[in-house]
A and B are shown apart, each in its own frame.
Chain A
Amino acid sequence: MSALLTVDGLRLTTGPSTLVDDVSFHIGPGERVGLIGASGSGKSLTASAIMGLLPEEITASGSVRLDGRQLLGAPERQLSRLRGKDIAMVFQEPMTALNPAMRVGRQVAEAMRLHRRIDRGAALAAAVELLDRVRLPEPERIARAYPHQLSGGQRQRVVLAIALANDPALLICDEPTTALDVTVQARILDLILAGVGEQGGALLFITHDLAVVASVCERVLVLEQGRIVESGPVRQVLGAPRHEYTKRLLAASTLEAS
């Protein structure tokens, strides 16, 4: 089985400091992989590198291939054609991911029109359908609303709807539920699973919450200070961790043990 995403020897540096060092992994089509680690471990930077959204001052070397195409160092025009279509991303803070001055329905519709040739009316109708797919109540009404009129959970559903708009082959989620209440988190996680499940998309899920990763992913990569220290099936890595760092993470997460 050929991999959908192959990251090989990824190294991110800024000035003299190395932020991510020799990170290699692959994600097969439809596979759900978790990337865990404490803050500052380089989780989010790795995701940014895959999306081609690294800050200017960071230099990347190594290789990131999606379906055989090299993404690292690819021209911005080529990347922007991929973003939103083949790879989509859901960020932690839903408020900043949405344009405050644009109605929600139009934002979802624009995301579709960016990569597909459909007229405005059809896109808007499809947007309402998509809002319904992420189980927003009264999707027609929500489509006419502005982001600030929605709750945090509703906003994250809209962001998810935008990410799923073009049925991406790979969905990257960076701490998508950290800012949300537990009951809302559970529903968003279900939606993410359903969203990638329906279309056979792959998932790269970044979080510091081991319980979340255990309930969402099949395989997990443990990142410590920019290096992958352990990887494997979720049950194996979190059930019987071998690396000291994974053990510490686990002990800290299951508070009963500490």
Chain B
Amino acid sequence: MSDNPRSESVVSVRDLWRTYRRPRTSLFGPRPEVHALRGVSFDVARGSRFGIVGESGSGKSTLVRLLAGLDRPSAGEISFDGRRIDTLPERRLGFLRSRLQVVFQDPMGSLDPRMRVRDIISEPLGRQPGRFERVRELLEAVDLPADAGRRYPHQFSGGQRQRISIARALAPRPGVLVADEPVSALDVLVRAQILDLLADLVERYALTMVFVSHDLAVVRHVCDTVAVMRQGEIVEQGPVRDVYGEPRHPYTRELIAAAPSLSAALSGPEEG
């Protein structure tokens, strides 16, 4: 189904650059520049689960912001459903808001502590009539009790908060879900549950998912396509089984070798 991604790509990124200017370190020298992204290109096929793997400083968070139209690239193009989004001002990105949503990493920081859960979830819906009906549906979809809507974020555990965050992202019925390290702040047991939930939802609502993580094992479990990022560049991309099975780039090999593996550790040579 992803044989011909070009014709059916939802998100298309071409030679994307993002350069930040740091505050001056000396009075007269030039302001130092940081290249967060250096010529990134990829296509996300409709219905695919596209993984972006990278360590800290790889530029993956910057990429998420650009995809969601929360920041502008320094150079390059981003298209969503064939429409350029990098050139539009934020107030004209309405169409993107309802079709692409983001689940953020920090289940504490991504929910306003002073808002009730139902107001958080219905936030992307504005004053639409029937929005609370939709909230009920969403709470059910993410396996939260119906009375959760009346409560505040701090009354929930980390995993439940991430469910709230997912419900909010699904509220406007987006076609694309961008998940930015959605499980890295969570416990192992909870992590597995949230990943299962995401997999279910992607299937049930026929979503395209862009899944950003530092964790190779998680990306391998969730995605069908993967791009490996290092220092603002994509060093390797392709179907998950190819990249993990026969990594071509030395950095990919290093990443795979460094990831601790239970089966390898248990089947390794007996120690003295």
A residues near B (Cβ < 8 Å) are: 38-39, 152, 181-186, 189, 208-212, 214-215, 218, 234-235, 238-239, 248-256, 258
CB of A186, distance to nearest CB on chain B (Å): 4
From A181, A251, A255, contact of B55 by CB (8 A): A181
If A211-B265, A214-B266, A234-B266 touch, does A252 touch B191 (CB 8 Å cutoff)?
yes
Do the beta carbons of A253 and B262 come within 8 Å of each other?
A: yes
From B188, B261, B266, contact of A235 by CB (8 A): B266
Q: Mark B229-244, 1 if CB is under 8 A from A, else 0.
A: 0000000000000000
Q: Mark B121-134, 1 if CB is under 8 A from A, else 0.
A: 00000000000000
A residues in contact with B158, CB < 8 Å: 39
B residues in contact with A210, CB < 8 Å: 188, 262
**Residues of B in contact with A, size category:** 20 to 34
CB of A130, distance to nearest CB on chain B (Å): 25
A contact patch SS: helix
Q: Mark B189-213, 1 if CB is under 8 A from A, else 0.
A: 1111001100000000000000000
For the complex, is B214 an interface residue (Cβ under 8 Å from A)? yes
Do the beta carbons of A255 and B218 come within 8 Å of each other?
A: yes
CB of B173, distance to nearest CB on chain A (Å): 28
A residues in contact with B187, CB < 8 Å: 38-39, 208
Residue of A nearest to B218 (CB): A255
Residue of B nearest to A189 (CB): B260
CB of A212, distance to nearest CB on chain B (Å): 5
A68→B166 CA distance, assembly (Å):
52
CB of A57, distance to nearest CB on chain B (Å): 20
If A39-B187, A152-B56 touch, does A252 touch B258 (CB 8 Å cutoff)?
no
Chain B 82-115 residues near chain A, CB threshold 8 A: none
Q: Mark B250-272, 1 if CB is under 8 A from A, else 0.
A: 00001101111111111010010
Residue of A nearest to B158 (CB): A39
For the complex, is B221 an interface residue (Cβ under 8 Å from A)? yes
Do the beta carbons of A182 and B263 come within 8 Å of each other?
A: no
A234→B266 CA distance, assembly (Å):
8
A210→B260 CA distance, assembly (Å):
9
B residues in contact with A38, CB < 8 Å: 187-190
B residues in contact with A208, CB < 8 Å: 187-188
From B191, B255, B262, B265, contact of A182 by CB (8 A): B255
For the complex, is B142 an interface residue (Cβ under 8 Å from A)? no
A204→B196 CA distance, assembly (Å):
32
CB of B158, distance to nearest CB on chain A (Å): 8
If A181-B56, A183-B255 touch, does A212 touch B192 (CB 8 Å cutoff)?
no
For the complex, is B176 an interface residue (Cβ under 8 Å from A)? no
For the complex, is B216 an interface residue (Cβ under 8 Å from A)? yes
CB of B85, distance to nearest CB on chain A (Å): 30
B residues in contact with A258, CB < 8 Å: 192, 195-196
- 13 A-B residue pairs with CB within 8 Å: A38-B187, A38-B188, A38-B189, A39-B158, A182-B55, A182-B255, A185-B258, A186-B258, A186-B260, A210-B188, A214-B260, A235-B266, A238-B266
